[in-house]
Amino acid sequence: MTDTKTWARVKSPWVLHFNSGACNGCDIEIVALLTPKYDVERFGIKLEPSPRHADVLLVTGCVTQQCAERLKRVYDQMPQPKFVVAIGACACSGGVFAGNYNTLGGVDKVIPVTAYIPGCPPRPEAIIDGVVKLLNAINPPKQKKAVEA
């Protein structure tokens, strides 16, 4: 049964996007993932509007004071097991806005983060790579036995 659940999760992860104070650079690249050139739906990845249906939370932005509480609330609404991917330099560490009066600097100040994708903004290919690495970490691909010579 656990195997089936993992299989379903890895084959079709539903992702939720939350902007915690980003400049739109990363956000537009996430939307670009859904469009014909990158088309992440071929990996079964589906952008989902409700946190209650999502497996993976994609967070962009440096986490402003005003967004922090809401980010935590969105995370709490997601069912277990849940994974958080911090996308972009701001989400990883606060980026260029680190130390400003209204920012907390990094998603991991508020909620636990599973994977970090750096870049300002990361290229769509980098985001795909990050998400696929996350999926491989959830369900490691079986190693083929080495054929003895």
Partner 1 sequence: MASNIDMISLLQSKFGEKIQIQPGVSGTASIVANNGLHHDVLAEMIAADEKTGIVAMTGLDFGQTLGVYYHVRTAKPFFTIKAEVPKADPKIRSVVDIHPGARFHELEVTDLFGVVFVGNEYDGHFVLSENWPDGVYPLRKDVDPTKVKLVPTPEREANLPAEGRQVKIIIGPQHPALLEPEKFSVTVDGETVTKVEPRIGYVHRGIEKSTESRTYLQDIYLVERVCGICNPAHAYGFVGAVEKILKPDVPERARYLRVIALELNRLHSHLLVLGHAGLEIGYETVFQYFWRDREPIMDLIELTSGNRVYGSLITVGGVRRDITAEQIPKIKSVLNDLRGKIPFYRKIYLDEPTIRLRMKEVGILSREDALKLSVVGPIARGSGVDIDVRKDIPYEAYGEIPFKEIVYPDGDVWARMNVRMDEVEESLNILDYALDHLPSGPIRVDVARSVPVGEAVCSLEAPRGELFYFVKSNGTDMPERVKIRTPTFANIPSFLKTAIGESIADIPSNFVSLDPCFSCTDR
Site residues (CB under 8 A) for partner 1?
Answer: 17-29, 31-32, 35-37, 49-51, 61-62, 64-70, 72, 74, 95-97, 99-103, 120-121, 123
Indicate the Cα dihedral angle 119, 122, 123, 124, nearest 10°: 160
Give the 3-state secondary structure of residue 60. strand
H helix or E strand, kind and range, residue 84: strand 83-87
Q: Which is nearer to partner 1, 93 or 103 (CB)?
A: 103
- Least distance from partner 1 to the Cβ atom of residue 110, Å: 8
**Alpha carbon distance 89, 45 (integer Å):** 23
- Least distance from partner 1 to the Cβ atom of residue 126, Å: 11
- Least distance from partner 1 to the Cβ atom of residue 106, Å: 13
Q: Which is nearer to partner 1, 83 or 97 (CB)?
A: 97
Q: Which is nearer to partner 1, 98 or 138 (CB)?
A: 98
Contacts of 18 (CB under 8 A, 6+ apart): 57, 58, 59, 60, 71, 74
